[in-house]
Amino acid sequence: MLRGMKHALLPCRPILPAGEPFTLEYCVRSTSDAPLLGTVDAVCSDKQLRVWAGDQGMRFNVASIGEPVKGTHVYCCGPANLVNAVREATVNWPEAQIHFEVFAATLDENFKPEPFDIKIASTGEVLRVPADKSALDVLRSRGFIVQSSCELGVCGSCECGYREGTIIHRDSVLSVSARQDRMFLCVSRARVSVTVEL
C-alpha cells in the first residue's frame, strides 16, 4: 500500500514525480516468498519502505492510516481481506483520495445475464449483446478496437463512458461516483440498452 502521493494514473500503478514523498507498506506472508522485495527495496529508501512479514510476527495495522490528509492518497492492492480492511479504515477519506485494485473478480453465483443492446454514441449503430457474450466480445466482433487485459473486471483496461442506460456494474474497480457514467465492457451489462462512448 502506498501513502503520501499526490498524483497517479491508475490504482496501484501510480506515477510518482521525482522527489514526491511516499511510504510503501509492503505486506507479505514471508520475506522468502516475496519475489518483488528486492526490486522495491532497491527503489525505496529505508524511510519509504516498511515490510510487514507474517512469518516474523509483523502485521500491518490499518488503523495507522489515520484521518484524511489534504493531498495525500492511499493506493491499495492485494487480497480481499487486506483491501476490505483498508476500505474500512479509510471510510472517512474523500473518495478521490482512495484507490483500490484487487487480484480476483467479485463472484456472484446468483447472477443471470440477460441480453441487451449497445448503441455507439458516435455513429448511432446498435449492437445486440446476447446473454452468453460480453459487450467487449460483441464490440470486437464488429471491428471495434477496445483494449483489455484481465477481462474479469479487475484491471480497468476496458473502461468506457456511457449514457442513457441503467448499468449492472460487475467490476471491482469503479467508485460509486464513477459508476454514474463509467462502465467496464468485459463484465458490466445493461438493463435493456445503453449508449456507450468509445
Average pLDDT over the chain, rounded to whole?
A: 85
Residue with the larger pLDDT of the pair 101 and 6: 101
pLDDT for the residue numbered 43: 83
What is the CB neighbour count within 10 angstroms for residue 92? 8
Task: Give the pLDDT mean for 109-130.
Answer: 93
Angle value at C-alpha 186, between 180 and 187, nearest 5 degrees: 65
What is the CB neighbour count within 10 angstroms for residue 42? 8
116-197 belongs to CATH 3.40.50.300: no
DSSP letters for the chain: -EEEE---SBTTB----TT---EEEEEES-GGG-TTHHHHHHHS-TTTEEEEEGGGT----GGGG-S--TT-EEEEEE-HHHHHHHHHHTTTS-GGGEEEEESSPPP-TT-----EEEEETTT--EEEE-TTS-HHHHHHHTT-----SSSSSSS-TTEEEEESSEEE---SS--TTGGGTEEETTT-EEESEEEEE-
**pLDDT tens-place string over residues 139-194:** 999 999 999 988 988 888 999 999 999 999 998 888 888 999 999 999 999 999 99
Residue with the larger pLDDT of the pair 134 and 38: 134
Q: Which residues contact 180 (CB under 8 A, 6 or more apart)?
A: none
**pLDDT tens-place string over residues 62-72:** 999 999 989 89
pLDDT for the residue numbered 110: 76
What gap in Å lies between CA 81 and CA 48, rounded to an integer? 24
Q: Look at residue 135 and tell me whether its pLDDT is greater than 90.
A: yes
pLDDT band at 6, cuts 50/70/90?
very low
Q: Look at residue 103 and tell me whether its pLDDT is greater than 80.
A: no
| Cell triple for 46 | 529505508
**Buried/exposed 118-127: b ≥16 CB within 10 Å, e otherwise:** bbbbeeeeeb
Please report, for the chain, the start and end positions of each structural domain, with discontinuous segments joined by +.
2-102, 116-197
Residue with the larger pLDDT of the pair 110 and 48: 48
Residue with the larger pLDDT of the pair 15 and 189: 189
Q: Are 28 and 37 in contact (CB under 8 A)?
A: yes
Q: Please state the φ and ψ torsions of residue 20, each to the nearest 5 degrees.
A: -70, 130
**pTM attached to this predicted model:** 0.61
Q: Look at residue 12 and tell me whether its pLDDT is greater than 70.
A: no
Q: Look at residue 106 and tell me whether its pLDDT is greater than 70.
A: no
**pLDDT tens-place string over residues 71-95:** 899 988 887 788 889 989 999 999 8
Residue with the larger pLDDT of the pair 20 and 28: 28
CATH assignment, 2-102: 3.40.50.80
